[in-house]
């Protein structure tokens, strides 16, 4: 599994914790930045990870900002991305099993490093269940296609 990670300045320390966790567990990843707490705009970093996941260069992505909300909204603008904001392990598992989320978002101002590690671990170990959930993912994809055609 290959994971793309990034954050803005508000999620920098949490992203560093995610990188440490991935390194400790031997999971291949690429850190797209930011590399300090100097102010940057979260949509820029979210877009890089979202496109990398959409294009198949990475299997999954993890994005952090102050709340996890801004990066989730930004990443979800990219067709084929299903970014899920998760601040507990139950939501992390459900986002994979039911929603086939391919990007996890979290907020540094919302959760601590220990919980973040648990969430990432749970999310990476969980798999899409398919079945009735596959029908729903197909409907999400149909919505994306409908509005991508109209925006051209």
- Cβ 70 vs Cβ 43: under 8 Å: yes
pLDDT at 152: 43
- Per-residue model confidence as pLDDT tens digits over 121-151: 999 999 999 999 999 999 999 999 888 765 5
Q: Residue 121's Cα: distance from chain center in Å? A: 13
Whole-number Å distance between alpha carbons of 101 and 90 = 14
Is residue 67 marked as binding? yes
Phi/psi class of residue 26: alpha, beta or left (left: φ > 0; alpha: ψ in -120 to 50)?
Answer: left
- Per-residue model confidence as pLDDT tens digits over 69-123: 999 999 999 999 999 999 999 999 999 999 999 999 999 999 999 999 999 999 9
Domain spans in the chain, listed from the N-terminal domain onward = 2-150
Active site residues: 65, 98
Mean of the pLDDT values across residues 17-24? 98
Is residue 33 marked as binding? no
Is residue 96 marked as binding? no
Is residue 117 marked as binding? no
Is residue 105 marked as binding? no
pLDDT at 77: 96
pLDDT at 127: 96
pLDDT at 147: 85
Name the pTM for this structure. 0.95
2-150: CATH, from 3.40.309.10, 3.40.50.300, 3.40.1400.10, 3.40.920.10: 3.40.1400.10
């Amino acid at each position: 599994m290959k994971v793309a990670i990034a954050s803005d300045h508000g999620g920098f320390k949490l992203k560093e914790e995610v990188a440490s966790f991935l390194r400790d567990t031997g999971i291949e990843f690429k850190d797209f930045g930011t590399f300090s707490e100097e102010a940057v705009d979260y949509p820029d970093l979210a877009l890089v990870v979202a496109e990398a996941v959409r294009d198949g260069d990475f299997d999954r992505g993890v994005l952090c900002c102050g709340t996890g909300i801004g990066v989730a909204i930004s990443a979800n603008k990219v067709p084929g991305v299903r970014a899920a904001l998760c601040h507990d392990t139950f939501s992390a598992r459900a986002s994979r099993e039911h929603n086939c989320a391919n990007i996890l978002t979290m907020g540094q101002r919302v959760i601590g490093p220990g919980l973040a590690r648990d969430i990432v671990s749970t999310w990476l170990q969980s798999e899409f269940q398919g079945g009735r959930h596959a029908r729903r993912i197909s409907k999400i994809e149909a919505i994306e296609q409908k509005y991508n055609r109209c925006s051209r």
